[in-house]
């Protein structure tokens, strides 16, 4: 029975190591300045803002040629410039509206490091299976920990028996 649990514990450890490695490496990536887009925090100078939020939404609508169902409008610094990011108007895409000039552009796709960070750290690759996948991986990690504790307890019990058994033999002899 113990050899079965040992093999199961080994396989569980290998299976759990892959998502934990991806999660950890993506977290380290986020800690490096400028490795992930949005990782650098810049202050917005209010004097640089020439376009109001209402004007930004209007410019986004004009760019699309229709009224967009925008779900979020965020003011942020991007490339050293203040921009509004309008989200939700074009599906998964978003628009950037320069807060100084009013120029509208599509948000460029994220770089490879940002994509890796989002996919590995938040399990975005799993789509609607994100929560069930996280629950399953957590359950496997719990099983691995429990099997490791069982193996450790049985190892120490065996060692204690051997130690006490050899002491009894010495006393008798």
Residue 116 in domain: no
Residues 17 and 75 in one domain: no
- 87 neighbors 74 (Cβ within 8 angstroms): yes
In a domain? residue 117: no
pLDDT of residue 88: 78
Number of domains in the chain: 2
Distances (CA, A) of 31 to 79, 117, 141: 19, 11, 25
**Of 30-39, 55-64, 67-76, 137-146, the least confident:** 30-39
Same domain for 90 and 67:
yes
* Cβ–Cβ under 8 Å, residues 68 and 60: yes
Q: What is the pLDDT, as a whole number, of residue 116?
A: 87
**pLDDT per position as a tens digit, 31-67:** 776 777 766 778 999 999 999 999 999 999 999 899 8
Is 99 in the same domain as 141?
no
Of 160 and 58, which is predicted with more confidence? 58
**85 and 135 share a domain?**
no
Per-residue pLDDT, 92: 53
157 & 96 share domain: no
Token readout for 105 is: 């552009």
Specify if 44 maps to a domain: yes
Residue 168 has pLDDT above 70, yes or no: no
Can you tell me the distance from the alpha carbon of 26 to that of 121, in angstroms, rounded to the nearest whole number? 6
- Cα(119)–Cα(23) distance, integer angstroms: 9
Question: Do 105 and 156 belong together in one domain?
Answer: no
88 or 21: whose pLDDT is higher?
21
pTM for this prediction: 0.56
Instruction: Count the neighbouring beta carbons within 10 Å of the beta carbon of residue 99.
Output: 24
CA 1/CA 6 separation, integer angstroms: 9
* Residues 52 and 33 reside in one and the same domain: no
Q: What is the pLDDT of residue 166?
A: 61
Distance CA 95, CA 66 (A): 14
Residue 103 sits in a domain whose CATH number is: 3.10.450
Q: What is the mean pLDDT of residues 82-108?
A: 86
Residues of the domain holding 91? 40-109
Q: Is residue 115 part of a domain?
A: no
Instruction: Give me the pLDDT at residue 170, please.
Output: 56
Is 77 among the domain residues? yes
In this predicted model, which residue has the larger pLDDT, 107 or 37? 107
Strand order in the sheet with 104-106: 72-78, 81-90, 93-98, 104-106
**Three-state secondary-structure class, residue 5:** helix
pLDDT of 39 reads 62
DSSP code at position 47: G
């Amino acid at each position: 029975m113990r050899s079965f649990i040992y093999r199961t514990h080994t396989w569980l450890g290998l299976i759990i190591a892959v998502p934990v490695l991806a999660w950890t490496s993506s977290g380290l990536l986020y800690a490096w300045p400028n490795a992930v887009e949005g990782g650098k925090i810049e202050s917005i100078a209010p004097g640089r803002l020439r376009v109001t939020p209402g004007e930004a939404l209007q410019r986004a609508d004009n760019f699309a040629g229709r009224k967009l169902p925008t779900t979020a409008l965020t003011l942020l610094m991007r490339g050293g410039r203040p921009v509004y990011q309008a989200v939700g108007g074009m599906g998964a895409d978003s628009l950037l509206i320069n807060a100084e000039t009013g120029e509208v552009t599509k948000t460029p796709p994220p770089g490879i490091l940002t994509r890796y960070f989002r996919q590995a750290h938040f399990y975005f690759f799993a789509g609607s299976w994100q929560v069930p996948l996280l629950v399953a991986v957590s359950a496997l990690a719990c099983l691995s920990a429990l099997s490791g504790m069982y193996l450790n307890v049985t190892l120490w019990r065996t060692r204690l028996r051997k130690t006490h058994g050899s002491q009894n033999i010495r006393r008798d002899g």
